[in-house]
Amino acid sequence: MLSLRFAIPFTPTKTKPKPGLVVQSGWNQTDLLSSLPRRCESYKLQAATADLTDGRGASVVELPEGLSRELMPKHVAVIMDGNGRWARQKGLPASAGHEAGVKSLREMVELCGEWGIQVLTVFAFSTENWIRPKVEVDFLLSLFERALKTEMDSFRKSGIRISVIGDSSKLPASLLGLINEVEETTKNNTRLQLIVAVSYSGKYDVVQACRSIAERAKEGQIQLEDINESLIEQELETNCTDYPYPDLLIRTSGELRVSNFLLWQLAYTELFFAQELWPDFGKEEFVEALSSYQQRQRRYGGRHS
Amino acid sequence: MDFARPKRMLYFWIDKIGNVLFRLSWHLVHAIIYLCYFTMAMLHGLESHLISRGLLRKYKYLHISKINYLAIVIESEEACRTSNVIQLLLWVATLGINHICLYDNEGILKKSKDVILDKFDGAILFQDTHENNMLLDQPCMTLEFVSFSDGKEAVARAANVLLMKYIKSRAAGSNQGEQIFSESEMSEALKTVGSGGPEPDLLLIYGPARCHLGFPAWRIRYTEIQHMGPLKSLKYGSLIKALYRYTTNLQIWYGNKQVKCSAVLPWKTVNLGKSNRTPSIHGDS
């Protein structure tokens, strides 16, 4: 039986709304055969108030219709694909596509912070991307450096913690220094953790985890027989967060692959492949991805642990 | 004159009528949404039927040789539906795809492998082939049965292999850490522990959730992933559509720049228009 949740905000006149919970319905599940809503003396539509706050002290804004705050994924991962194609379609240079991509990312970071998502991991640059033309690679790295410098203050003020994962050995020294500074400056922020994967690949992550384990074994911290999946997970680069496994992966531009991103971590991640190119992926498209995730959660309950 | 009582009665009836109207509109909206989903399901079913009968022109020709290795993930709760699994494999084999990997998280398919292999004359286990690069030369069907133990657990075992190698190299006085802990060495170590299958070109997920449920992560770097829905709703037309989608989206990588190409290349094609009958299990009428 089709079961949908179609929430209409209301509140009985004699009760106060729950803080932080804006959209609610009078029953948990709606379908054609569900019982009629309990009768209240009167109903009133209520708009969210901006001065409600969540547990982390940030303002809570109204969620788009159909989304539930309780069912928000804790960790969303994004493969930001399609900048180059977007630029080609518009007759612009590739650099314009990447600039537009940064704007999309900025919007997504704001939305994640507002909607209670705790971790956002984005695939900015993969190890395979190093073989692109040097001009493009240099532009991408300088764009990343500029974005970090420009947004550092904004991250600090809006409670966003920045972490960068990937093989840093090939990154320019100036960028490395800036990354360390931003990570240090924002390490105590708790509203949202933005993890940027630069020069990253899923296979590299697993291999470096094994290398770290070997070092620990060399120092006598662990024995050979201790090596299991848990130990590898502890050494993966995503150990910088309390929620290392994405609940939802979004890939834009219509490609149906994970392209060497978070290979180990995606075992039980809901995969959402969007047709739009990354610069065109905005609030509406994000809501669609989240709705799809929440619908599936509602229908099929918990996942494997 | 006392207007209090009529006023209370008026409010009472306004409230009652308001409640009824609210409930009616609520159910009307849900009925509309239900109808939309129902219509979409009907259209999907109709399209699947038309594809199965070979009536939709664009699905008549599939460039099957693009798919060297196909992986099928089945949710463990549905993996016990052996007849559905065999039906699916029969369709895939009839279309000319001979090298298939079957995965379910709990290893239920592994327990059914003898029953499944019996249904396909000459099919052999992937593990019985000597080298991956001989796979394509095998004229017969090869089936690989994989579970969670071949994924993360296998990587842990492979990590052990690499660590032993590292310890030995240090004992011999050489420091080959960088060479030993590399992607190629990890691939070799996975083969050593018996979990070194090839990377599938396409992975079809049969289950309610759109996730691969722990399929060996090392093998799906560039695998295309398509969600097919529950196994109990298995449809030949949906399978054709998924294969068509994969085979027509040719991506050519030039220096890591992606270019879409729709040129007709000399691949082996399957003409679905010759037979209007959906293949069924041997022995069925």
Q: Is the pLDDT reported for residue A21 higher than 70? A: no
Highest mean pLDDT: which range of A280-284, B133-137, B178-182, B241-245? A280-284
Say how far apart CA B146 and CA B102 lie, in whole Å.
6
Residue A15's pLDDT band, with cuts at 50, 70 and 90, is very low
End-to-end CA distance of chain B: 87
Q: Is the pLDDT reported for residue B278 higher than 70? A: no
Are the C-beta atoms of residues B61 and B271 closer than 8 Å to each other? yes
Interchain CB distance below 8 Å, B209 and A296: yes
Interchain CB distance below 8 Å, A227 and B163: yes
Are the C-beta atoms of residues A211 and A134 closer than 8 Å to each other? no
Model confidence over A243-270: pLDDT tens digits? 999 999 999 999 999 999 999 999 999 9
Does the predicted interface ipTM exceed a cut of 0.85?
no
Say how far apart CA A204 and CA A127 lie, in whole Å.
9
What are the phi and psi torsion angles at A82 (to 5°)?
115, 5
What was the pLDDT predicted at A5?
A: 42
Percent of chain B residues topping a pLDDT of 90: 52
Residue A65's pLDDT band, with cuts at 50, 70 and 90, is confident
Q: A147-151, A298-302, B83-87, B95-99: which has the minimum mean pLDDT?
A: A298-302
What was the pLDDT predicted at A53?
A: 47
* Torsional sign, CA A243, A246, A247, A253: positive
What was the pLDDT predicted at A302?
A: 41
Residue B229's pLDDT band, with cuts at 50, 70 and 90, is very high
What was the pLDDT predicted at B132?
A: 52
Model confidence over A86-109: pLDDT tens digits? 999 999 999 999 999 999 999 999
Cβ atoms within 10 A of the Cβ of B243, count?
Answer: 25
What was the pLDDT predicted at B88?
A: 96
Cβ neighbours of residue A111 under 8 Å, at least 6 residues apart?
Answer: A283, A286
What was the pLDDT predicted at B179?
A: 81
Mean pLDDT over all residues of chain A? 82
Tell me the chain B residues in contact with residue A36 when contact means C-beta distances shorter than 8 Å.
23
Q: A156-160, A226-230, B212-216: which has the minimum mean pLDDT?
A: A226-230
Residue B172's pLDDT band, with cuts at 50, 70 and 90, is confident
| A231 near B CB under 8 A | yes
Of B162, B192, B151, which Cα lies nearest the Cα of A214? B162
Out of B167, B181, B210, closest to residue A207 by CB: B181
Q: Is the pLDDT reported for residue A34 higher than 90? A: no
Interchain CB distance below 8 Å, B225 and A30: no
End-to-end CA distance of chain A: 27
Are the C-beta atoms of residues B238 and B59 closer than 8 Å to each other? no
Residue A81 is a catalytic residue: yes
Q: Is the pLDDT reported for residue A215 higher than 60? A: yes
Q: What is the mean pLDDT of residues A143-171?
A: 93
Strand order in the sheet with B124-125: B124-125, B142-146, B99-103, B70-74, B202-206, B224-229
- Selected catalytic residue, list A81, A138, A167, A242: A81
Q: Which two tokens stand for residue A170?
A: 């090939």
Say how far apart CA A68 and CA B181 lie, in whole Å.
44
Q: Is the pLDDT reported for residue A154 higher than 80? A: yes
Q: What is the mean pLDDT of residues A177-205?
A: 95
Q: What is the mean pLDDT of residues B11-19?
A: 92
Percent of chain A residues topping a pLDDT of 90: 68
Say how far apart CA A83 and CA A28 lie, in whole Å.
41
Interchain CB distance below 8 Å, A210 and B164: no
Out of A6, A229, A270, closest to residue B156 by CB: A229
What was the pLDDT predicted at A199?
A: 95
Cβ atoms within 10 A of the Cβ of A144, count?
Answer: 21
Q: Which two tokens stand for residue A254?
A: 């219509």
Say how far apart CA B250 and CA B66 lie, in whole Å.
9
Model confidence over A38-54: pLDDT tens digits? 443 333 333 333 344 44
CA distance B37 to chain A (A): 8
Out of B33, B209, B256, closest to residue A6 by CB: B33
Cβ atoms within 10 A of the Cβ of B174, count?
Answer: 10
Say how far apart CA B125 and CA B122 lie, in whole Å.
10
| pTM for this model (two decimals) | 0.79
Cβ atoms within 10 A of the Cβ of A31, count?
Answer: 14
| Rg of chain B on CA atoms, in Å | 27
Query: Tokens 């069924």 correspond to what residue?
Result: B280
Q: Is the pLDDT reported for residue B136 higher than 90? A: no
Residue B69's pLDDT band, with cuts at 50, 70 and 90, is very high
Are the C-beta atoms of residues A38 and A15 closer than 8 Å to each other? no
Interchain CB distance below 8 Å, B181 and A42: no
